[in-house]
Structure 1
Amino acid sequence: MVEVAPFHEFVIKLHGLCNIACDHCYVYELRDTGWKSRPAVMADRTMEQLALRIAEHARRHRLPQVTLVLHGGEPLMAGRARVDRLVTAVRQALDTTTRLRLSLQTNGTLLNDAWLDLCHRHGIAVGVSLDGDRTANDRHRRRADGRSSHPAVERGLRLLRSPRHRDRYAGLLCTVDLRNPPLATYEALLAQEPPRIDFLLPHATWQYPPPGHDPARAPYAAWLITVFDRWYRSAAPPETRVRIFEDLVDLALGGSPASEAVGGAAAGFIVVDTDGSVQLADAYRAVHDGASETGLDVFAHDFDTVARAPRVAGARRGRSELARQCTDCSVVEMCGGGMRAHRYRPENAFDNPSVYCADLMGVAEHIGHRVRSDVRELLEGLR
């Protein structure tokens, strides 16, 4: 039987619904409608089976560590007892030789001391989605009745960055909106004292391009470059880590790809939804209805079977399946073709450059030139 590359990370859709109504949400607002037919919350039976499948996979591949990312929807809507039950089930199922790493991605509105005490008990790192200051955040992240979610997120973040809970604070996830001034957005995020910031380009395809898409002007590159220059000029060490910038700096200096977003690393994670069905990454929800579906589930299939499934294997090929235009590009070692889902066109599926090609090229060229120039200057100064 063909050997498979194991999954090291499992994104668990513990609760399928959300308590706010972000109009840029990739779960509810893009092409996919699968969430409508799934249970709102993961049942006990599904959690128990999932725990057994993860442990089975870890033993088979002798994994020293597996990561669980508790996700949604809004995972805190599942309640503390359910989170405790899932984490306990997975930990008990794993051998003592496999370490369990835990994180949780939340909109932050439901965070309180009781939740954070649970996170301390289980060692769960907490990431919060925030798009900037109140004006920036309220462009998209409002409640269903139109009220701002920002005050509730602020309350949650004040708790999270307090001395009592600071070590549970993983960072902020910000979806880029070109209407939000880049420096003001970055400063607003810095004000929350995050240990790390992830900037997410809106999930989009050639069929459904992102807002403001303009390959001639590359506006997303301009936005990110403005923030990069501010971040790069800051004191050493920087005020915070920024994942996309760190990855591109490392790649500019010959490092290995660490993510699918840039560098073209093969996906090392898989998604499990509330009904136990196995899904591709949420980015595929931007492609077409059902694009994230694998047709597999944790009751009938182990994770090796999942890894061998053609749709899953195709999504994990990394740079080996890039379009010819990408393989011949001068910055392919840095951008890696971007996220696979962002390459989609109906006529030839994923055999295209990313819809963000011009933006990725602009950012990669700028960072590569800046970093290599600084290294050359440093080396000349040592002679």
Structure 2
Amino acid sequence: MQAFREFVLKVHQRCNLACDYCYVYELADQSWRDRPAAMDRTVWQAAARRIGEHARIHDLTRVDIVLHGGEPLLAGRSALIALITDVRAAVPGARFSTQTNGALLDAPMLAALAAHGVRIGVSLDGPPEHHDRHRRHRDGRGSHLLAARALRLLAGHPAYAGILCTIDPATDPVAVYESLMTYRPPAIDLLLPHANWANPPGPGYAEWLIAVFDRWYGAPRRETGIRLFEELINLVLGGTSRSDQVGLSPVAVVVIESDGTIEQGDSLKSTYPGAGATGLTVFDHDFDAAARHPGIVARQSGRAALAESCLACPVHDICGGGHYAHRWHPGGGFRNPSVYCAELRRLIDHVGARVAADLRGIRT
């Protein structure tokens, strides 16, 4: 049984934006409607006790706590600090992070979170004309101005974790990358939109990613970290991955919803209603019970969870079948290739060729 090392706390179930690709609000699973808007103290204290118990049983030296939503900053400064204090009392070595759309990240919020050791990432999809295509308020107004303000506030700050960017192949990839770099991010996460065989994506993702990879990899100095590319390079060189987008490393993440229910990864909400449910709560169950859940066992079983066609592919150890949610087919569950299979293969072959060429150059 694989221990959990990352715990996602859904501190606030609602959001102040209405991004059209959001897997929580816009896709298949609408269970957020039946849950409390904000996590109550009794919930986070119960979760903290369970996390502390899990860390002691499995002798974990590192535990990551992600404050998530919806938009986590809607919980407010006082609630967030109370939660962090309570969790840290039960899990002394916990490391905290949060991912925000930036709308509520002002100087007082930044100071409060940073004082309690919270690392902060901001979601930004490129320059205004690209970002505001998808990440808008409910009345249609774009949100780039607010995200940019937050990133200017974070630039150079020790709490700055980086930028999360969801890929849109209709945008100019190099323009998007260079616009993100104006905010001096220490790291960038490039995410494929959550799609599956019932709702397949359009074309162009491989070309978009390859263009950004070439711009990033060919730079005269290291400008930032891009997790997807770094993980692929590690895998091409025979290493392992810490990402759930590629590779065969077991998933070590679990979600605690605002009402205390324990769920699998949020991304499964993009497939069908109840896909991430376990039937467990932090009030009545420990995390070992969650680790034994068949859905979580499947996500942790690596090669054994791959489709036959994946196992026959020469890069399956690198691809890892792609993101688990992207494998879902309404007639065949999750034992399928990623709906991005062809795109991932082109990207992996390109990254492998660039790395191999550099290694040949070193040897000669």
1:332 CA displacement = 1.2
* Counterpart check, 1:35 vs 2:32: yes
Question: In 2, Cα distance between the equivalents of 1:347 and 1:149?
Answer: 38
* Counterpart check, 1:193 vs 2:184: yes
SS in 2 for 1:330: coil
Question: In 1, Cα distance between the equivalents of 2:129 and 2:266?
Answer: 26
Match of residue 220 from structure 2:
235
Match of residue 122 from structure 1:
116
* Counterpart check, 1:147 vs 2:131: no
* Counterpart check, 1:244 vs 2:228: yes
Gaps in structure 2 of 5+ consecutive residues: none
* Counterpart check, 1:103 vs 2:67: no
Q: Is the 8 A contact 2:8 2:66 kept in 1?
A: yes
Instruction: Please point out which of 74, 77, 93 is paired with 2:74.
Output: 77
1:310 CA displacement = 1.4
- Aligned partner of 1:269: which letter? V
- Aligned partner of 2:108: which letter? A
- Aligned partner of 1:152: which letter? L
Deviations along 1:327-347, whole A, 9 cap, x unmatched?
A: 111111211110111111111
Runs of 4+ in 1 over 3 A off after TM superposition: none
* Counterpart check, 1:91 vs 2:85: no
Once the two structures are superposed, the pairs formed by residues 58-77 of structure 1 within 5 Å of their partners are 58-77=55-74
1:324 CA displacement = 1.0
1:318 CA displacement = 2.3
Q: Which of 219-228 and 317-326 deviates more?
A: 317-326
SS in 2 for 1:167: coil
Once the two structures are superposed, the pairs formed by residues 130-169 of structure 1 within 5 Å of their partners are 130-161=124-155, 163=156, 166-169=157-160
Question: In 2, Cα distance between the equivalents of 1:8 and 1:42?
Answer: 21
* Counterpart check, 1:274 vs 2:249: no
Q: Is the 8 A contact 2:299 2:305 kept in 1?
A: no
Q: Is the 8 A contact 1:264 1:339 kept in 2?
A: no
Question: In 2, Cα distance between the equivalents of 1:284 and 1:305?
Answer: 19
Deviations along 1:217-251, whole A, 9 cap, x unmatched?
A: xx211110000000011022x11110001111111
SS in 1 for 2:105: coil
- Aligned partner of 1:8: which letter? R
- Aligned partner of 1:173: which letter? L
Calculate percent identity across the aligned residue pairs. 49
Question: In 1, Cα distance between the equivalents of 2:292 and 2:33?
Answer: 28
Question: In 1, Cα distance between the equivalents of 2:318 and 2:278?
Answer: 30
Match of residue 216 from structure 1:
none
- Aligned partner of 2:97: which letter? S
Question: In 1, Cα distance between the equivalents of 2:137 and 2:235?
Answer: 39
Question: In 1, Cα distance between the equivalents of 2:357 and 2:150?
Answer: 41
1:325 CA displacement = 0.8
Q: Is the 8 A contact 1:67 1:101 kept in 2?
A: yes
Question: In 1, Cα distance between the equivalents of 2:210 and 2:39?
Answer: 41
- Aligned partner of 2:48: which letter? A
TM-score by length of 1: 0.93
* Counterpart check, 1:304 vs 2:296: no
TM-score by length of 2: 0.98
SS in 2 for 1:274: coil
* Counterpart check, 1:223 vs 2:208: yes
